[in-house]
């Protein structure tokens, strides 16, 4: 049972380059998320997709775009990478709505360095 899989695990980019982080989940979840994590700042929401066909901005969307390709896949794109985007990125998914015990599942993270 793979859960949430994100690629690549590590990436180094030059300022101005573009790249896409890929995320896929095999739990048939409706909602998917992209977070970034910087030292001392917990998880900050970049974008989310409540269901297939919809995407919405989170707390820190500037410099990013997302695509909900299908129910399984949610990608995050950096069009012109900046050093401020050096971070660890996490993809997550959950069932739609909330019932007691409804778990948010996270990928293992993608370490991105922009030089």
Partner 1 sequence: TQLLEQSPQFLSIQEGENLTVYCNSSSVFSSLQWYRQEPGEGPVLLVTVVTGGEVKKLKRLTFQFGDARKDSSLHITAAQPGDTGLYLCVPRGANDYKLSFGAGTTVTVRA
Structure tokens at 68: 């909900």
Please pick, from the candidates 56, 63, 72, 81, the single residue that binds partner 1 as defined by CB under 8 A. Answer: 56
User: DSSP of 3-62, one letter per residue?
Assistant: -EEEE-SEEEE-TT--EEEEEEESS--SEEEEEEE-TTS-EEEEEEESSTT--EE-S--T
Structure tokens at 25: 């989940």
Please pick, from the candidates 19, 27, 50, 60, the single residue that binds partner 1 as defined by CB under 8 A. Answer: 50
Binding mask 67-96 for partner 1 (x = CB under 8 A): -----------------------x-x-x-x
| 34 in contact with partner 1 (CB under 8 A) | no
Count of beta carbons in the 10 Å neighbourhood of residue 74: 29
Least distance from partner 1 to the Cβ atom of residue 80, Å: 26
Place of tokens 């050096």: 86
Size of the site for partner 1 (CB under 8 A): 29
Q: Which residues bind partner 1 (CB under 8 A)?
A: 4, 31, 33, 35, 40-43, 45, 48, 50, 56, 58-59, 90, 92, 94, 96-98, 100-104, 106-109
């Amino acid at each position: 049972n793979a859960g949430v899989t994100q690629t690549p695990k590590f990436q180094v980019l030059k300022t101005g380059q573009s790249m896409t982080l890929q995320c896929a989940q095999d739990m048939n979840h409706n909602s998917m998320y992209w977070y970034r994590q910087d030292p001392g700042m917990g998880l900050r929401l970049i974008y989310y997709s409540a269901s297939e066909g919809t995407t919405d901005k989170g707390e820190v969307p500037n410099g990013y775009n997302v695509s909900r390709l299908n129910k399984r896949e949610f990608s995050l794109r950096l069009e012109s990478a900046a050093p401020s985007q050096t971070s660890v990125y996490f993809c997550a998914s959950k069932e739609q709505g909330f019932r007691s015990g409804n778990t948010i599942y996270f990928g293992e993270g993608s370490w991105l360095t922009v030089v």
